[in-house]
Structure 1
Amino acid sequence: MHRGNKSQARSGKSSRPPGLSGREIGMYYKNLARQRKNSDTKNEPKIKLSCDVTVPPGVIMRVNEYMDQFKLAREAGQKHFDENFQQQFRHMLNVNFEAFIEETKKQNKDLNLQNRSLDAHLQDKQKERLQNADFRARFEDRLKLPTMRHATDVIDAVDKNQVVLIVGSTGCGKTTQVPQLLLDDCIEKGIGTTCRIVCTQPRRISAITVAERVSYERAEPLGHSVGYQIRLESRKPRERASITYCTTGVLLQQLQSDPLLHNVSVLLLDEIHERSIETDMLMALLKIILPHRPSLKVILMSATVREEDFCNYFNRCPMLRIEGVMHPVEVLYLEDVLAMTGYQFDCGNNKRSQPRLDQSEHRNMIEPYIRQVRSRYDNNVLEQLRVPHSEGCEDIDFIANLIYYICNKKSDGAILVFMPGLNKISQLHSTLKNPRSPLGQRWRDHLLIFPLHSMLPSAEQQSVFKRAPNGKRKVIISTIIAETSVTIDDVVYVINTGRTKVTDYDIETNIQSLEECWVTHANTQQRKGRAGRVQPGVCYNLFSRAREALMSEVPTPEILRCKLETIILSLKVLHIDDTYAMFQTMIDAPAQRTVSTAINLLKRSA
């Protein structure tokens, strides 16, 4: 009894009736929970949504307004309000994208962002900044970038056209310089308050690092005129005369509440050659949006990969080509690495045995090539090339041995290793931390090892940019995340295993999987460029020249190799009625059967 009083005092609630025991106690609480649930249901109407459904804030606000009106009308005894409520509610949820756009246009028809007094203030601040010694020194460095030599061409093209394609190779500075050129031009013309630039990035790490770099070049803290926004994290800039770097997914979320992006004056889509689902979907939506927003400027930025496809997609929009500045990069292939290191593969290890089909494929590829290069390499190298698991990242000890060779024979500089996924990153990390060879034990304490992949928190991803102290060598083991938009200043050596992981979809079984496969020529060029961004470097390709000859030119667009249920739901949230028609407007349309399968699955799941 004494215990029960203490429990009652702690909980602050009335205890159960006395005399209950065992199963009776459980039934009492079950009935009590049911009564509370029924009471809540009677007192207040509620809307229950799945935790996976994202609803635009504007829709939620209007739902709440209608619910409040319904409650008041019911209390006032209005008999015909139920019918009106049903009609309004159905219209709100079933409105199509065109109607959604028209409604947004009406809401923003009187919107005027220009503030002349603030424009004058921004001009004064810009003049002050030009006198800043730090800014002038950093501006001199900016002038060395090829994009700055095309500054006038970029500004003129954007002024005269609604859509412009900028094709720039690695190191040209398009991601950091184009937004600054446009912002500074608007401020100089006295219309800075009308300028709000958004630049999409394919990954979180690139959005953050590029924003930090641009704010550094402008000699101001992050969050002033330059900021970033990613999922669950942001350092937003001021509302006007600003540049925001964000992930593509964040921008798609903003479209749910404002499909015409009224607060954006210039939209830059970076790295569109990667052909992610989000980018393809955004480009298709822009084709609908642009006629309704003639003042919105769109700049597509791509590497030199099938750029004509994007130009044609946007009605033969003008294209500017900017050549990058690449420091010399020596490219070595598997046969060169084997000749250099003298490494011997363990052919008797059953764990590395591959299916006969893979072995046969490797033999058919490598034997003709060996006959071609017989005079250039000794027999030991040629025998190692015949080993099926010699290429890629099957032999983790081989990659570790190459890292130790670089440490032992090459000058200072960070090493960037491209691996296909987290599992292989962990294997190499463990091997370097716990080496078995005498050479590995010698270098173990001199290595600073940083994994880099999408599962890492943003703060840990940023640690890879810190330079190693004297006597240490930095080794970054990364997935494809470090392939584009990220410049790690001290990287001199790149080890390209030539492997990556991509989604694959089998329409016959309706199964999507994550498969490890060979990269494309476009990927190898990007990876090579990581070594030559700021100084001469070396790229070690852990595959033969024969393998490279079989690689595809560009990756298959993501929308052609994945299930479509998620993207269909995203389109429905944006009030896209006919998803079949919407997919047909994309730069590469998925098969009609794939769309039908996804829609039927969603209907069965409803």
Structure 2
Amino acid sequence: MEIEKSQSPNKSTVQQQILVEKNKNGNLGLFNKLQKERKNLPIFKHRQGLLDKIKSNQISVIAGETGCGKTTQIPQYLIEEGLNKNRMIAVTQPRRVAAITIAQRVAQEMNTTVGNKVGYSVRFEEAVDKNNTKLLYMTDGMLLRETIVDPNLSRFSIIVIDEAHERTINSDLLISLLKQLSERRKDLKIIIMSATIETEKFANFFETENIIYLEGRCHPIEVFYSKKPHADYLDAALNTILQIHFEEQDGDILCFLVGQEDIEDMQQMLEEKIELFPKEAKKLNICTLYAALPSHLQLLAFEKSQEGERKVVLSTNIAETSVTIDGIKYVVDPGLVKTRKYNPNKLIEMLLVVPVSKSSAMQRAGRAGRQSAGKCFRLYTKYTHDTLAEFMLPEILRSNLSTVILQMKAIGIKDVKGFQFIDRPHEDQFIESIENLQQMNALDANENITLHGKEMAELPLEPIYAHFMLVAFATNPNSISVVLSAISLMQVENLFFIPKGAKISLLDVLLRFQLGNSDQLTKVNMLHQYYLAKNKKSFCKENFINQKNIKKALEVRQQLENYFLDILKKRSKKNQKQNQANIQQQSEEQQIQEELAKGNTLKKLQEEHKTAIQQEINTEEFISCIAKGLSVKAAKLNNDGTYTIIRSNIQAYIHPESLLFYSKPKPDYIIFNEVVSTIKTYLRDITEISFSDFKEISK
């Protein structure tokens, strides 16, 4: 149903209180400017009609194109109207970067600081005040984890699932859980926000007719298509960028490319062309944007262009959603994206370049219209666009379900196969994932969750890594420090940044830190040396280390250490309860003393179990632990130099970025971290294991 245009609403008491508080905090100039911008958004004229619909319905499905303002404005409207009822509003995002940056923007609009009235919660990081935060932007995975602790999500009065059309595995599961929760909690309001594609599917799933359509982007966007397909998309993108630069009016360019390698190639091609520009030509500055790029270089893409200059931003799909780059007026879209797909029959994950969906194409075009009228140049034909899928295949249909099933079991869902999903995964996905969890002793023979499985579910890790951590501690407690470091490094990508043209290779850098015949131990050694370095900035510069990402690895390690110690503390408390079953209830004074002692509990556990970073690294202990913990990732050498993955019988090569790629002779038995299939199937992050370890795990 279309919302009618309405007059600006009268301010409620809650709104007046918010305005008074904003005035007290000062900075009225910026606040007034932001309020003016808010009123200029397309969504503002629908404000009252939107609120009326949400008030009168438990479930609302809101469809709006890029730029209408739904992500930042609707949660603020709900608070201004007092619909949160003194509880929190959760707004989920598929990506951590989006959750953080949107929280920062909304906090600015509400004239508060992040971590006060507006907070965020992403894996391994949060800024939230349990007493003051009313609006919490969080990744869908974090809200899903909260359902394990509190299935009723009782601290929230409203839950907003944003970007639902992206169909991430976590958001799909959340939507299914929220449908069940809506029956138990009639006071809970649920809002599903999506692009205009497939809106009715969400409405039908929730059995609601309350679909609210909002106007599109802020500014008009003209879309152009290629007359015929291009043999080389990089060459086509290069020509389009140059054509825009010499023939179009002022405005910056955003060009989407599939990965870092293509971005670096395009950068070099452009630099060669720029050298041939006439002296009177407008200056063209090149900026790049991809995950491995150090943060200070990423920020260059967001700086405004100088008068008389133009910038071109070469980016992966990191710039596709929820990011506004100042000055972008032109978008170049080759229509391709790199995505991961899990094959349950081969038990491998493939990295593939595939066509974008119509939904993604629309998001990309929307980047051109965020601040002014723009143009989008699609480097494919109109016919090709019309044949694109409406949206990417839901992640739940192309992923390993081990994490999902373990979370469902931890929540208390026994019949995972009979659970009502928006799109039900294939039977093979269930069978393979359940068998995988049973091999890790997370589920028993009757598919019930074990104590080991419950502890695995408490850790914010994929089941295989949670299993690795717990098994390592059980078999060799002294190894836990190195294992924590290794697992933390496995959660962070792009640890190194070697500039194009540098007279050093990744191998040269790795050899500086080599420890054993192991990529994992080598990186652990690097992390520990970084931790002990007095001048960390110089250490990173000298060793071509991405400081932002290695710092993130340390932060992840600290979080994992805290989670792990919390599990040990629960084990200890459980043992104490069993031993003191007949002791009477503690006095008030004893309880106070216990609370005072809690502050030192984690520190004592840390000292007792040696979980902190240690200077000495015992290679043999770690190799034994990784063999047991990651036994499903074992492979053995073939006569032709390839490796056979024991579990799936697939042949693969050691990745060229591995230290062991250059080993002569090659190790007979290895444990790997990841399988990636591009032109060939590769094994990444390798550790050599002994024949005895291999024989033990192959039983």
| Range of TM-score over shorter length | 0.5 to 0.7
Offset, 1:143: 1.7
Offset, 1:154: 2.3
Which sits farther off after the overlay, 495-504 or 250-259? 250-259
* Among candidates 425, 428, 438, match of residue 593 of structure 1: 428
SS at match of 1:562: coil
Contact 1:168 1:321 in 2 (8 A): yes
1:495 aligns with 2:341: no
User: How far apart, in 2, do the equivalents of 1:575 and 1:588 lie?
Assistant: 21
1:97-496 superposed matches below 5 A: 124-127=17-20, 129=22, 132-186=28-82, 194-236=86-128, 239-240=131-132, 242-335=134-227, 385=228, 389-390=231-232, 393=233, 396-433=234-271, 438-439=276-277, 446-453=284-291, 455=292, 464-496=301-333
- Amino acid of the structure 1 residue aligned with 2:377: Y
In structure 2, the CA distance between the partners of 1:570 and 1:424, relative to structure 1 (3 Å rule), is farther
In structure 2, the CA distance between the partners of 1:517 and 1:443, relative to structure 1 (3 Å rule), is farther
- Amino acid of the structure 1 residue aligned with 2:167: R
1:528 aligns with 2:365: yes
User: How far apart, in 2, do the equivalents of 1:529 and 1:317 lie?
Assistant: 28
Offset, 1:317: 4.7
- Amino acid of the structure 2 residue aligned with 1:537: G
SS at match of 2:368: coil
User: How far apart, in 1, do the equivalents of 2:428 and 2:336 lie?
Assistant: 30
- Superposed CA deviations along residues 96-125 of structure 1, whole A, max 9, x for unmatched, are xxxxxxxxxxxxxxxxxxxxxxx9999645
1:571 aligns with 2:408: yes
User: How far apart, in 2, do the equivalents of 1:443 and 1:429 lie?
Assistant: 19
In structure 2, the CA distance between the partners of 1:486 and 1:292, relative to structure 1 (3 Å rule), is same
SS at match of 1:288: helix
Contact 1:328 1:536 in 2 (8 A): yes
In structure 2, the CA distance between the partners of 1:458 and 1:159, relative to structure 1 (3 Å rule), is farther
Contact 1:419 1:425 in 2 (8 A): yes
Offset, 1:238: 6.2
- Superposed CA deviations along residues 322-352 of structure 1, whole A, max 9, x for unmatched, are 11244222222223xxxxxxxxxxxxxxxxx
Contact 1:205 1:458 in 2 (8 A): no
Offset, 1:126: 3.0
Offset, 1:462: 5.3
Offset, 1:569: 2.4
Offset, 1:302: 0.7
In structure 2, the CA distance between the partners of 1:596 and 1:495, relative to structure 1 (3 Å rule), is same
Q: Which runs of 5+ in 1 are unaligned?
A: 1-118, 336-384
- Amino acid of the structure 1 residue aligned with 2:288: F
TM-score for both structures, normalised by structure 1: 0.64
- Amino acid of the structure 2 residue aligned with 1:551: L
Offset, 1:279: 0.6
User: How far apart, in 1, do the equivalents of 2:280 and 2:414 lie?
Assistant: 64
In structure 2, the CA distance between the partners of 1:152 and 1:230, relative to structure 1 (3 Å rule), is same
Contact 2:66 2:216 in 1 (8 A): yes
Offset, 1:141: 2.3
User: How far apart, in 2, do the equivalents of 1:458 and 1:334 lie?
Assistant: 35
In structure 2, the CA distance between the partners of 1:185 and 1:549, relative to structure 1 (3 Å rule), is closer
- Amino acid of the structure 1 residue aligned with 2:406: L
1:22-101 superposed matches below 5 A: none
Root-mean-square deviation (Å)? 3.0
Q: Which runs of 5+ in 2 are unaligned?
A: 1-11, 442-699
Contact 1:248 1:278 in 2 (8 A): yes
- Superposed CA deviations along residues 375-405 of structure 1, whole A, max 9, x for unmatched, are xxxxxxxxxx476x24xx3xx3442333233
In structure 2, the CA distance between the partners of 1:330 and 1:254, relative to structure 1 (3 Å rule), is same
User: How far apart, in 1, do the equivalents of 2:115 and 2:56 lie?
Assistant: 30
In structure 2, the CA distance between the partners of 1:240 and 1:233, relative to structure 1 (3 Å rule), is same
Which sits farther off after the overlay, 520-529 or 596-605? 596-605
Count, aligned residues = 427
Offset, 1:437: 6.4
In structure 2, the CA distance between the partners of 1:172 and 1:563, relative to structure 1 (3 Å rule), is same
Offset, 1:312: 0.7
Offset, 1:460: 6.1
Contact 2:42 2:218 in 1 (8 A): no
Contact 2:116 2:133 in 1 (8 A): no
- Amino acid of the structure 1 residue aligned with 2:394: P
Offset, 1:315: 1.6
- Amino acid of the structure 2 residue aligned with 1:235: A
User: How far apart, in 2, do the equivalents of 1:512 and 1:237 lie?
Assistant: 39
Contact 1:326 1:529 in 2 (8 A): no
Larger Rg: 1
- Amino acid of the structure 1 residue aligned with 2:346: T
Which sits farther off after the overlay, 195-204 or 231-240? 231-240
- Amino acid of the structure 2 residue aligned with 1:512: E
User: How far apart, in 1, do the equivalents of 2:151 and 2:301 lie?
Assistant: 37
SS at match of 1:194: coil
Higher relative contact order (CA 8 A, sep 6+): 1
TM-score for both structures, normalised by structure 2: 0.56
- Superposed CA deviations along residues 178-200 of structure 1, whole A, max 9, x for unmatched, are 000110111xxxx8771311111
Contact 1:435 1:441 in 2 (8 A): no
* Among candidates 380, 386, 395, match of residue 558 of structure 1: 395
Query: Greater share of helix residues, 1 or 2?
Result: 1
Offset, 1:308: 0.5
User: How far apart, in 1, do the equivalents of 2:206 and 2:263 lie?
Assistant: 40
Contact 1:176 1:214 in 2 (8 A): yes
Offset, 1:245: 1.2
User: How far apart, in 2, do the equivalents of 1:234 and 1:283 lie?
Assistant: 23
User: How far apart, in 2, do the equivalents of 1:457 and 1:570 lie?
Assistant: 34
- Amino acid of the structure 1 residue aligned with 2:107: S
- Amino acid of the structure 2 residue aligned with 1:587: I
Contact 2:329 2:375 in 1 (8 A): yes
User: How far apart, in 1, do the equivalents of 2:206 and 2:372 lie?
Assistant: 37
